[in-house]
Structure 1
Amino acid sequence: MTQIRPSHVSGEFIALMALLMCMVALCIDAVLPALGPMAADLNVGASNNIQLVVSTVFAGMAVGQLIYGFLADAKGRKTSIYLGIAIFLCGTLVALWADTLEMMLLGRFLQGIGAAGPRTITLAIIRDQYKGDQMARVLSLVMTVFILSPVVAPLIGQGVMWLFGWREIFIFLLVLAVISGVWFWLRQPETLAVEDRVQFSVGETVKSLSSMLQARAAVYYVLALGFIFGAFIGFINSVQPVMQGIYQMGSMFPALFATLTVSFAGASYLNSRLVMRFGAQRLALMAALSVAGLSFIMLLLSWILQGVPPLWLLMIYLWCTLFFVGLQFGNLNAMAMEPFGRIAGVASAIIGNVSTMLAVVFGTVVGQLFNGTVLPLVTGFTLLALGAAFFIHKANSIQLVSASSR
């Protein structure tokens, strides 16, 4: 092993890794305030179709995770990052010049494929260079910035729109990608030695996939992750038409969105403490049932109020719901990955691909059902959280039986 292991943690390294990871959140959330003007300029017929601008990024990320999961182990970390940034730049240019919805969706899909590279490989770079407590410290610092990026992204998008227009948001993303790419090229060395690289093999991949399918508990956790992630994408698809369409929040939308993402970020932070007390299995199931229970109550109240509850009530509901959603992502990912230490790279790529593709389908359906009320959004949270709870329970039961038979 000849990986470079620095003796100390550089502030510049933290900033660079955080910037590369934040490209995903900025790409998705910075355009949310622009969906209305974008739909008008692109002559989008059905109003719900503009939500596909969000969904296609996630679909691209699902495809990209498979590409980079194999490429990074075979060709090195820097090659994978360069490819991701190059694809992201191409997608951003297509989106910038788009004059139809179809062209915009192509650009966004390419952005998703590209952004998956920096998002995925930065974790591998950190793992290459640090270990133990030092690695945990680096990851916590980088993830803190990453978690907070959805808070500021819509505010940045709104600010760019105020000063220029919605297309200039893509110029901002273009400049950001160029800066991060040049910075990475100049300052970050390769962290995977040539002798440690693993050549891609179709046979080994099929063998790895077969072993993953035999781990039934892990499969159920992946399905649960897809369901709860689908609820989250349904929220991302619906939040702009709900806030700006139903409640006429206009330029206040980014600030309201920021308050909701703070809840999600806070849950991710608290999970590291709560999981030590309750355990990942119990905590994930409790959180999924909490989302389902809160959403069912909110669904009844919304139905009584003809689908449009007071904004304060909706905000409290979303704040609480996103908190419990945030408790599930890390735990479900960890439990799905647990049996696959020997094939961690391939397993991570496949788990990310399958769960994200499921989530894109579910989240797109929720968004497309928007009808001028909050009922589709709340129904989506209710049903998808119940689905997640069902699969978590199935997985927990399998592991309980397995543990008792030892």
Structure 2
Amino acid sequence: MTAPASSTTPLMSERRVSLIGALLVAIGPVSMAIYTPAMTELVQAFGVSPSSVKMTLTLYFGGFALAQLVAGPLSDALGRRPIIIAFMGIYCAASLLALVAPDIETLMTARFLQGVGASAGVAISRALVRDLFKGEESSRIMNLIGIILALGPALAPSIGGALLGLFGWRSTFVVMLAMGLGIISVAIFALRETVTPDRSRLNIRKLAGTYVMLLGHRHFMATALVMSGALGALYAQATFLPFILMDRVGLSPAQFGLGMLMQSGFFFASSLAVRYLMARTSAYNLVAPGLGFILLGSLGTLSLTLGALSFLHVMIPVAIYAVGIAFIMPAMSTAALAPFGREAGAAASMLGFLQMGSGLLIGSLGALMGDTVQAMALLIPLMGLTACIAYLVYRSHPHLAEPEPRAVMPAPRG
């Protein structure tokens, strides 16, 4: 049950929800991106194989994906604020464990627990938006979250590369610990509760029934698979790009961190363009062009099997794909959750699980293939194709949840 609020004045403004939502969403990708420059050094530091170091990222994804299925429903039953604080507490404890890890097994455990802690951010941020806003307001907030979200992963690899050169790989976990403590402070002092806690909803059978309902809901699954094929590719690429760009192209960790600005920079610029366009047309009208960019990026990625590798050969398709993600995210995030009020937390959790889970699945399949370049060239285009097919299914019944919002026009003066 949503917390009572005035019909004209929500509990929190669009700006506050956007900023808090962006912080919550960003903790997951930033914790991944700031760590990736150190992956090749960890092979030397612990004297292990690259596969073992890749497993630290895979376990992070696994914890992140699975725990979302718990975090969202817990926030429905116990409130958004206490669950954010509790999960960020797990994240901080895991960051401290990673900081002092004496071996790769301890680091694997810490990274898994970090993923568990960070998972609440994605699920609860979307639920907060769904609690307070609908339609174009929701799409605007999702877009602003995307803009702010782009800044974190854009800067994180560069920061990670610089920290690695100056202080060593353990320093990245000091930064993560500080981020976790910062989000706990924001939750305590700036976040207002948006639901009325209802402990009767802590019912595993009912929760399982809700998830079964979501998995069988054609509208939800169509929109969720659009998001999974698009946004999930970012997580899959994170398992491929460090080893392609550093081992095969020959970049140093610092150069890799700077190079990743190309992906995040294009996403950031495109999110700004989307915000401009949304003032003139519906966010839903931007999805088809976005999928066009994703198809173009997929074709470019497929070409990695042809000719010699170079930085631009790898990253131009990645950047184009990121443009497409910025175009589809506001409308599809809103559409996916639109039918679900009371189950907003569970729906947001399942949406996040499918996105992260798709990245985990593709990354794991890529590890089994052995050749990282071939894996990325074949599997990322498959994700783009999945997003396009799912969108065609969605378009066959586009109004199942709510009428697609029209562009918001300025109110007449008078």
TM-score of the aligned structures, taking structure 2 as reference length: 0.80
Q: Which amino acid aligns with 2:245?
A: M
Does structure 2 retain, via aligned residues, the 8 Å contact 1:370–1:377? no
What does residue 74 of structure 1 align with? 77
Alignment of 1:236-247 (within 5 A): 236-247=238-249
Contact kept? 1:20, 1:119, Cα under 8 Å: yes
Cα distance in 1 for residues equivalent to 2:317 and 2:160: 25
Name which of structure 1's ranges 277-286 and 291-300 shifts more when overlaid on structure 2: 277-286
Partner of 1:153: 156
Taking a change above 3 Å as real, the CA distance of residues 16 and 353 of structure 1, as seen in their structure-2 partners, is closer
Q: What amino acid sits opposite 2:269 in the alignment?
A: G
Unmatched tracts of structure 1, length 5 or more: none
Offset of residue 110 of structure 1:
0.7
Equivalences for residues 363-378 of structure 1 within 5 A = 363-367=363-367, 369=369, 371=371, 374-378=373-377
Q: Is the 8 A contact 2:293 2:323 kept in 1?
A: no
Report the CA distance between 1:319 and its aligned residue: 1.8
Check the 8 A contact 1:217/1:396 in 2, yes or no. Answer: no
Matched, 1:35 2:34: no
- Alignment deviations for residues 123-162 of structure 1 (CA, whole Å, 9 cap, x no partner): 5556667899988877665553222111111122122222
Which residue does 1:387 correspond to in 2? 386
Task: Quote how far apart the aligned CAs of 1:283 are.
Answer: 4.7
* Secondary structure at 2:260 match in 1: helix
| Deviates most, 222-231 or 378-387 | 222-231
Say whether residues 1:44 and 2:28 are aligned partners: no
Corresponding residue to 1:117 among 111, 116, 120 = 120
Describe the shift of the 1:292–1:379 C-alpha distance in structure 2 as closer, same or farther (beyond 3 A): farther
Aligned to 2:267: 264
Match of 2:407 in 1: none
Distance 1:238 1:129, change over 3 A: same
State how far apart, in whole Å, the 1-side matches of 2:131 and 2:220 are. Answer: 26
State how 1:21-32 maps to structure 2 within 5 Å.
21-32=25-36
Match status 1:396 vs 2:399: no
Conservation of the 8 A alpha-carbon contact between 1:54 and 1:237: yes
Q: SS state of the match for residue 340, structure 1?
A: coil
CA distance in 1, matches of 2:186, 2:239: 33
The residue type equivalent to 1:336 in the other structure is: A
Alpha-carbon RMSD across the aligned residues, in angstroms, is 3.7
What does residue range 209-228 of structure 1 map to in structure 2 within 5 Å? 209-228=211-230
- Counterpart of 2:74 in structure 1: which amino acid? L
Task: Indicate conservation of the 8 Å contact 2:143/2:275, yes or no.
Answer: no
Of 71, 86, 91 in structure 2, the residue corresponding to residue 88 of structure 1 is 91
Matches for 1:73-222 after TM superposition, within 5 Å: 73-125=76-128, 143-182=146-185, 184-185=187-188, 187-188=189-190, 190-192=192-194, 194=196, 199-222=201-224
Instruction: State the AA in 2 paired with 1:310.
Output: S
Q: CA deviation at 1:88?
A: 0.3
The structure-2 alpha-carbon separation of the partners of 1:215 and 1:51, relative to structure 1 and needing over 3 Å to count, comes to same
Measured against aligned partners, the alpha-carbon deviations of 1:181-210 in whole angstroms (never above 9, x if no partner) come to 24543x236524657776333454344334
Counterpart-to-counterpart distance in 2, 1:379 and 1:79: 42
% same residue: 22
CA distance in 1, matches of 2:144, 2:229: 29
- The verdict on how the C-alpha distance between 1:197 and 1:275 changes in structure 2, with shifts beyond 3 A counting, is farther
Going by fraction, where is helix more abundant, 1 or 2? 1
Residue in structure 2 matched with residue 295 of structure 1 by the alignment? 298
Separation in 2, partners of 1:257, 1:249: 11
Indicate the SS of the match to 1:379: helix
Query: By how many angstroms is 1:168 displaced?
Result: 1.4
Does the aligned pair in 1 maintain the 2:249–2:309 contact within 8 Å? Answer: no
TM superposition shift of 1:60: 1.5
How many residue pairs get aligned? The number is 397
Q: CA deviation at 1:72?
A: 1.3
Q: Aligned equivalents of 1:344 and 1:197: distance in 2?
A: 16
Distance 1:288 1:16 in 2: 28
C-alpha displacement at 1:13, in angstroms? Answer: 8.4
The corresponding residue for 2:360 is 360
Pair 329,123 (structure 1): closer, same or farther in 2 beyond 3 Å: closer
Q: Is the 1:129–1:191 Cα contact (8 Å) retained in structure 2? A: no
